[in-house]
A and B are shown apart, each in its own frame.
Chain A
Amino acid sequence: MSAQITSLTGRAWVFGDNIDTDVLAPGIYMKGSMAELAQHCLESVDPDFARNVQRGDILVAGENFGMGSSREQAGQALLELGISALVAKSFARIFYRNAINLGLPALVCADADKIRAGDTLSLDPAEGTLAIEGGERLSCEPIPPHLLAMIADGGLLPHLKKKLKGAAA
Chain B
Amino acid sequence: MSMTLAEKLCAKAAGVPSVTPGEIVTAKVDLAMVHDSSGPRRLVSKLEEIGADVWDPSKVVLITDHYVPAVDAESAAILDLTRKWARDTGVEAFYDMQGICHIVLPERGHLKPGMFVAGGDSHSTTGGAFAAFMIGIGATEMAGVMATGEIWVKVPPTIRIEWTGALGEGLAAKDMMLKLCGELGMGVGNYKAIEYTGPAMTALPMTERMVLSNMAAELGGKVGLIAPDDVTLDYLRAAGADVGDDALDWKSDPDAEVEAIHSFDATTLNPQVAAPHSPENAADAEAHDTVKIDQAYIGACTGAKLGDLRMAAAILGGRKVAPGVRLLVAPASARITNEAAADGTLAVLTEAGAILMPSGCGACAGYGAGVLAAGEVCISSTARNFKGRMGHAESRVYLASPFTVAASAVTGHITDPRAFLMEKAA
The residues of A with any CB-CB pair to B shorter than 8 Å are 18, 63-64, 67, 69-72, 90-94, 96-98, 101-102, 141, 144, 146-147, 155-157, 160-161, 164-165
Contact = CB atoms under 8 A, between A and B. Distances in A.
B110 interface: no
Contacts of B258: none
A101 B138 contact: yes
Nearest to B192: A93
B136 interface: yes
Given A160-B50, A161-B51, A93 B152 contact: no
B187 interface: yes
Given A64-B187, A93-B222, A96-B191, A164 B138 contact: no
Contacts of A64: 187, 190, 220
Given A67-B187, A146-B152, A98 B147 contact: no
Contact of A147 (B24, B49, B137): B24
B148 interface: yes
Interface residues of B, number: 26
B191 A157 contact: no
A160 B148 contact: yes
B139 interface: yes
Contacts of B220: 64, 67, 92-93
Contacts of B191: 90-93, 96
Contact of B141 (A71, A90, A97): A97
Instruction: Tell me the dominant secondary structure on chain B's binding face.
Output: mixed
A19 to B, nearest CB: 12
B46 interface: yes
Given A146-B152, A147-B24, A97 B187 contact: no
B267 interface: no
B240 interface: no
Contacts of A92: 187, 190-191, 220
B69 interface: no
Contact of A146 (B26, B51, B140, B143): B26
A157 B138 contact: no
A102 B148 CA distance: 17
Highest count of chain A CB atoms <10 Å: which of B26, B50, B52, B122? B50
A67 B147 CA distance: 27
Contact of A157 (B26, B50, B186): B50
7 contacts: A67-B186, A70-B137, A93-B220, A141-B22, A160-B50, A164-B50, A164-B52
